[in-house]
Amino acid sequence: MKKPFLIGIGNPHRGDDAAGLLVLDRLKNDFESLKHDGEPAALIDAWQGHDDIILVDAVSSGAGAGEIFELDLQKESLPDIFAQSSTHSFGVAEAVELARALGKLPPAIFFYGIAGENFSIGGDVSPEVEKSVAAVAQSILDAHKEKKHA
């Protein structure tokens, strides 16, 4: 069975925006993985040829720092608030919806978002986000184990 393709999205120099990259660092030995800045066209290109995608990114949604969002993107779209408040100029929501419209969405694509509060250049990752990074990494591992045994 081919490993899921894990894409950690973010900027390591913008505080909580590093959340997706930190999850990837914890799991890079368990999954095929890629660190990505979230640029939509390049993100769509990155997942081509893969059937099982896991996207992890920080979100700025007005939720409390560290709140975790898990979505099956084959079944639902990312909430509009994620697109309107992306930490990137264009974000994951735009990439997913563009891929959906073009018929380039992989058969399985899951999104884990971690709400951040500090996205300043040179800022530190908040303690709440650090805790959620560990929780999301464990959740991804658990989900992968269930798939292997299904």
**pLDDT-above-90 percentage for the chain:** 71
**Residue among 20, 28, 31 at smallest CA distance from 133:** 20
pLDDT surpasses 60 at 149: no
pLDDT surpasses 50 at 85: no
User: Terminus-to-terminus CA distance in the chain, angstroms?
Assistant: 12
Q: If phi over 0 gives left and psi between -120 and 50 gives alpha, with beta otherwise, what is residue 92?
A: alpha
Fold entry, domain 5-149: Rossmann fold (3.40.50)
Cα 62 to chain centroid distance, Å, stands at 17
The string of pLDDT tens digits covering residues 19-28 is 999 999 999 9
- Domain locations in the chain? 5-149
pLDDT band at 2 (very low <50, low <70, confident <90, very high): confident
Q: Which of residues 62 and 85 earns the better pLDDT score?
A: 62
pTM, full prediction: 0.90
pLDDT surpasses 50 at 86: no
Instruction: Return the bridge partners of 5, or none.
Output: 32, 53
